[in-house]
Amino acid sequence: MLHMSRKDWLDGFKKIVYVMLSYIPLGLACGIALDKAGFSPFSVMIMSFLVFAGAGQFMIAQLVSAGSSPISIIVTIFFVNSRHLLMSSGLVQYLKGKSIGYYLLFAQTIVDETFGTNITQFTTNPDWTPSKALSANILAHFSWIVSSLCGTFIGQNVNIPLTIVNYVLVAMFIAMLVEQVLSKTHLIVAVVAGILAILLKLVLKNSISLVIAAVIASTIGFIIINNNQSKQNAIRGEHDN
Amino acid sequence: MTTDRWLIIFGAAIASFIPRVIPMLFFKNKEISSKVTQWLSFIPVTIFSALVFSDLVFWENKLSFNPLVNLKLIPALIVFYIAYKTKNIFISMIIGIVAISLMLLAF
C-alpha cells in the first residue's frame, strides 16, 4: 500500500538518525517521569505510539503527579500540540496524490524534529521523496516508542539531569532555525517570532503562544515580501514608461 | 493503572491527532495558491524561533537574561555560531550538550 523500498528506508534513516539518537536520552527521561506518575510500561508504549509528543508526554507526567483532572490535561495537550497544525499545513504541498493510509500515518508522525528534517530536505534536496519522508518519520517514531518504554524499566532510582536532556532539543532546534534563515526577510521574521513568543508566553502562560507568535510573524514576513514585490513592480513600471 | 490514566492517554491521542491530520485531509487534493505558499514558507523559521526563544530565556520558570543565572544562554550563543559555521545539526547538538554540561559543572 505504501510502496517504500529498501533505499527509501536507508535514505530516510541517514537523514533522521540524529533525531533517533536524541530520542534515546529524551525517551528514557520521559519514560522515567511517566513511570513515576503511575503509568505502566505497557501504557507508556501505547501513549508513545498514539500521542508521540515529547513535550506533551512530559507534561502529562507532571500534571498527573500534580493531580490535575483528565479533561484539563487533555485540553493542555491539545494546546501544546496545536503547532502541528501549522507543520502539517507546511508539509502537505510536498505530499500530493498519496493514499489515505499514507496521509494518516504521516500525520501521526509529525513532530518538531521530523518536520524540521523534512522541510529542509524537501526544500534543498531534489532526491527527497514522500516515501523517504514517511520512512524517516516512522523510524523517529519507533525510536521514541522504544526509548520511552525502556525508561519505564530503568525506574526511579536513576536521576537524569533534565536541563541537559532538554538541551539536546534546544541545540537541535537552534540548528534547524539557522538552517531555515534563507534570506534577510527570514532573519527579521525570526527575530519578531522570538520576541513575540517570549512576550506571549509571559502573558498567556500557555503553549498556544507558540502558534500565535508563528502566525503573526509569518504574516509580517508575507507583508514584507509582497511590499517589496509591489515596489519592484512600480520601479519596473517607471522604467517601462 | 487507573481508568483515569487510560482516559488521559486516549483523550490526549485524539487531541494530538486532530491538529496533525486536518491540514493533510483538507489540502491533499487542493492546489495551494501561491499567496498561501508564500505565507507558509515562513512557518519553519517562525516556529523554530518561537520554540527556541520561549525556552532559552526562561530559567526555572522565570524570565532571565543574566548569563550567570540562566546557564542556557552562553551555550546557546555557541550553538548558534557552530550551527551557522558548520550547518551540521549533529555537531551542533554535541557541542550544545558539552557546553551546557560544563556550565552546570562550573556553576
pLDDT tens-digit map of A152-168: 998 767 777 888 988 99
Record the cell numbers describing residue B33, joined without a space: 495558491
Q: Find the Cα–Cα–Cα–Cα dihedral A223, A225, A228, A232, rounded to 10°.
A: -130
For the record, the C-alpha cell of A90 comes out as: 507546511
**A239 shares its domain with A152:** no
* A10 and A97 housed in the same domain: yes
Same domain, A142 and A238: no
* Same structural domain, A83 and A120: yes
In this structure, the number of other CB atoms found within 10 A of the CB of residue A115 comes to: 24
Residues of B with CB below 8 A from A92's CB?
Answer: 23-24, 27-28, 32
Region for B33 from its dihedrals, namely left if φ exceeds 0, alpha if ψ lies in -120 to 50, beta otherwise? beta
A116, A197: one domain: no
Residues A214 and A175 in one domain: no
- Do residues A156 and A169 both lie within one domain? yes
Which residues on chain A are in Cβ contact (under 8 Å) with B53?
Answer: 193-195, 197-198
**In-domain check, residue A1:** no
DSSP B32: P
- Give the number of domains in chain A: 2
Residue A139 lies in a domain: yes
**A103 to chain B nearest CA, in Å?**
6
* Whether residues A166 and A193 fall in one domain: no
Q: Which of A149, A164, A180 is the last residue of a domain?
A: A180
In a domain, A45, yes or no: yes
Name the residue with cell 490514566.
B5
The pLDDT of residue A229 = 83
- The pLDDT of residue A238: 62
Chain-chain contact of A178 with B38 (C-beta, under 8 angstroms) = no
How distant is the Cα of B103 from the closest Cα of chain A, in angstroms?
A: 10
Which residue, of A137, A155, A180, is where some domain finishes?
A: A180
Rg of chain B's alpha carbons, rounded to an integer?
Answer: 20
Write out A73-140 in H/E/C secondary structure: HHHHHHHHHCCHHHHHHHHHCCCCCCCHHHHHHHHHCCCHHHHHHHHHHHHHCCCCCHHHHHHHHHHH
Ranges under pLDDT 70 in chain A: 1, 156, 237-241
pLDDT at B55 over 80: yes
Question: What integer is the mean pLDDT of B19-36?
Answer: 91
State whether A188 and A215 are in the same domain.
yes
Pairing of strands B62-63, B58-59: antiparallel
Domain that holds residue A57: 6-180
Residue A206 is assigned to a structural domain of this protein: yes
Instruction: Output the pLDDT for position A174.
Output: 96
Q: Which of A141, A158, A180 is the last residue of a domain?
A: A180
Model confidence pLDDT, tens digit, residues B64-93: 999 999 999 999 999 999 999 999 999 999
Residues A121 and A54 in one domain: yes
Distances (CA, A) of A176 to A104, A206, B35, B48, B84: 25, 23, 24, 7, 10
Shortest CA distance from B45: residue in chain A: A180
Q: B44 and A108 in contact by Cβ < 8 A?
A: no
A212 within domain boundaries:
yes
Tell me, what's the pLDDT at B30?
85
One domain, residues A121 and A192: no
Q: How much is the pLDDT for B91?
A: 95
CB-based contact B96 A115, cutoff 8 Å: no
Query: Are A109 and A212 in a shared domain?
Result: no
Q: How many Å lie between the alpha carbon of A7 and the closest alpha carbon of chain B?
A: 22
What φ, ψ does residue B43 adopt, rounded to 5°? -60, -45
